[in-house]
Amino acid sequence: MQLPRFDFIQPATIDEACSLLDERKGDATVLAGGTDLLIELRRRLRKPGCVIGLKEMRGLDYIQKDDGGDLRIGALARLQWIESSPIIAEEYPALAQATRLVAVPPIRRVATIGGNLSLDTRCIYYNQSEFWRSAQADCIKLGGDICHAVPKGRRCLAVCQSDLAPVLMALGASVKIVSAEAERTVALADFFTGKGEKPNVLAPGELLAEVIIPSDGQRAAVYEKLRIREGMDFPLAGIVVSLGTDGQGAAAGARIVLSAVGPAPTRIVEAEGLLEGKRIDDDLLEQVAQVMFERAHPVANLAMDPWYRRKMVKVLTKRAVRQALETAKAN
């Protein structure tokens, strides 16, 4: 299937890109790696008049520490750089681990961190060809007023498919958003709206420019991902557990993020609280997993039974906590 026709412009600088976005507000979309955008265009899920190609743009392609010790990753940093970066391997190994679970090497070579964070949510009734979709009424995500996944559903529950978002959220990351007029930094938790039809706060004319990760200390984080094809697949459920130990083997400062069961990755504070200051045994693990299970509400909108996905949340939680604890003790 051919792509729809569009104007294609490759700006050289961020300022140029921003003024282009401003000029053609609402009609322009940015193409970074393009590994997901081109598929959406093919399916006519987006119909931009203008595509702004960023592959040759300089200025957002870095991974570096700033003076305050935070790690700054330009939105155009390729996923392959992240998995092979010495700084990330040393200080944020979970980010490298999660990156290796995204797609496959040829895709990670072009795909970018900014693109991964701003991935659109997915649903089996939405991510289809235009012809396939023409057989039924437009759903909420397409601007209609019905949901095909949930009978009588009034909210779009299309699923967040980013593997990096839950990890970055557990690491306390924030993102810098720029536009022609302004610049703002938002915590990743506030970047996601929780709405399937409009998953993030990026407004027309705005560009995701940078990811900022604070120094993580002696913590260990683990990402567990459920998928059908182990070689490459979007997540059907995801759990990130990040924690440290107090020296006597008890958990400290735990953060647990639940993802790929709803429109946004979410920290489950209640589950985190259960672990705080405790030595982790099987009973406690069961309690934490039970909380995660109760907070996960997948619906029948991805290629696997929602009840199975929900039960796997429990299994993945246990695996992630055990492994994070082991790594934290070894640190």
Partner 1 sequence: MEQVLIKLTVNGREEDVRVSPHKTLLEVLRDDLSLTGAKNGCEDGSCGTCTVLLDGAAVRSCLLLAMEAQGHEIVTIEGLSDGQNMSPLQEIFVNQGAVQCGFCSPGMILTAKALLDSASSPTETEIREAISGNLCRCTGYTKIVEAVMAASGQPVPVRTHPYEGDVSERAAS
Residue 304 as a binder of partner 1 (CB under 8 A): the answer is no
From 267, 259, 256, 264, select the one nearest 289 (Cα to Cα): 256
Is 102 or 240 the residue whose CB approaches partner 1 more closely?
A: 102
Shortest gap between Cβ of 268 and partner 1 (angstroms)? 31
Of 104, 137, 182, 228, the one binding partner 1 by CB under 8 A: 104
Residue 8 as a binder of partner 1 (CB under 8 A): the answer is yes
Which region, judged by CB under 8 A, interacts with partner 1, from 4-12, 134-142, 300-308, 314-322?
Answer: 4-12
Of 18, 20, 28, 51, the one binding partner 1 by CB under 8 A: 51
Of 26, 105, 204, 214, the one binding partner 1 by CB under 8 A: 105
Of 109, 195, 295, 322, the one binding partner 1 by CB under 8 A: 109
Residue 118 as a binder of partner 1 (CB under 8 A): the answer is no
Residue 295 as a binder of partner 1 (CB under 8 A): the answer is no
Q: What is the identity of the amino acid at 123?
A: C
- CA–CA dist 316, 52 (Å, integer): 39
Of 44, 61, 107, 186, the one binding partner 1 by CB under 8 A: 107
Question: 245 forms bridges with which residues in the sheet?
Answer: 251
Is 99 or 179 the residue whose CB approaches partner 1 more closely?
A: 99
Tokens of 208: 């995701």
Contact 106, 122 (CB under 8 A): no
Shortest gap between Cβ of 9 and partner 1 (angstroms)? 9
Of 11, 14, 17, 35, the one binding partner 1 by CB under 8 A: 35
Which region, judged by CB under 8 A, interacts with partner 1, from 69-77, 83-91, 100-108, 165-173?
Answer: 100-108
Helices 306-330 & 282-295, crossing angle to 10 degrees? 140
What are residue 20's phi and psi, to 5 degrees?
-65, -45
CA angle 151/159/136 to nearest 5° reads: 45
Strand, helix or coil for residue 122: strand
CA separation, residue 168 to residues 124, 174, 222 (Å): 26, 8, 11
Residue 53 as a binder of partner 1 (CB under 8 A): the answer is yes
Among residue numbers 188 through 247, which ones bind partner 1 (CB under 8 A)? 229-232
From 308, 281, 279, 305, select the one nearest 293 (Cα to Cα): 308
- CA–CA dist 119, 199 (Å, integer): 9
- State the CB neighbour count (10 A cutoff) for residue 133: 19
Residue 124 as a binder of partner 1 (CB under 8 A): the answer is no
Q: Tell me which residues touch partner 1 (CB under 8 A).
A: 1-8, 10, 31, 34-35, 38-39, 42, 51, 53, 55-56, 103-107, 109-110, 229-232
